[in-house]
Amino acid sequence: MEIEIKRARLPLKDRPDIPDLPYVPQELKERGLGLELVAKPRVVLSAEEAEEEQIRRNIMITTVDSVYNWARRSSLWPVSFGLACCAIEMMSFTDPRYDIARFGAEVMRPSPRQADLMIVAGTVTWKMAPVVRRIYDQMAEPRYVIAMGVCATAGGSFFNSYSVLDGVDKILPVDVYVAGCPPRPEALLYAVMKLQEKIDHQTILRDRR
């Protein structure tokens, strides 16, 4: 039984019994990275393996996880952090045409202590960088960061300039990057939806991060 359980953990390249997925690039197959390309892995487990998997996953926690994540992603309150021109697009995102309140971001909290999402919208200068970090530190966990626009992603049109920080990910961990100068409100909406998908995959257990 130990040999069969260990077989479920082998990478894809050592599992000749699994049929080929619809399309996996050759390099990925060699590195054993093909399993993420489908939503559910088409792996057939034996009875003992399935039981082991269930016990390991702990069904109770899975249900709590899904409810918890639904609550977290459906009410992401951003802290209003518009620095430059991207702030205009963020404002238009909160206006009735591309309503952000439909997706749970009902209010933009002016205080970071009451928010759990920080949309860095605009250019971050060297002078402003410690302030951005301080606002991020004041947010309570779980907190997420969206880097909006090319200036927050990588310095943008002011890359390698004397006064601009090349990307806000040098000072904070970023979850989603949005490209654009400025990105359209629909692009920012897509970023918020991607962030909601990312929140779906988190868990409250410590060891299964």
Binding site for other proteins (CB under 8 A): 25, 27-28, 125-127, 160-163
Residue 92 or 161: the one with the smaller Cβ distance to other proteins is 161
Q: How far is 38 from 176, CA to CA, in rounded Å?
A: 22
- The nearer residue to other proteins, 70 or 126, going by C-beta atoms, is 126
Contact 178, 149 (CB under 8 A): yes
**In the complex, minimum distance from the CB of residue 131 to other proteins, in angstroms, rounded to a whole number:** 11
Both tokens assigned to 130 = 């410690």
Which C-beta is closer to other proteins: that of 80 or that of 153? 153
Q: Which is nearer to other proteins, 8 or 33 (CB)?
A: 33
CB 76 within 8 A of CB 189: no
Closest distance between other proteins and the C-beta of residue 35, in Å? 16
Structure tokens at 85: 């021109």
Give the span between the Cα atoms of 187 and 122, in whole angstroms: 15
Q: Is 66 helix (H, G, I), strand (E, B) or coil?
A: helix
CB of 127 to other proteins, least distance (A): 5
Retrieve residue 168's tokens: 């806000």
Nearer residue to other proteins within complex by CB, 132 or 188: 132
Contacts of 167-173 with CB under 8 Å at 24 or more apart are: 168/120, 168/124, 168/132, 171/124, 171/129, 171/132, 171/133, 171/136, 172/118, 172/120, 172/132, 172/133, 172/136, 172/145, 173/145
Residue 162 CB, nearest approach to other proteins (Å): 4
CB of 154 to other proteins, least distance (A): 12
In the complex, least distance from residue 140 CB atom to other proteins, rounded to whole angstroms: 28
- CB of 161 or CB of 203, closer to other proteins: 161
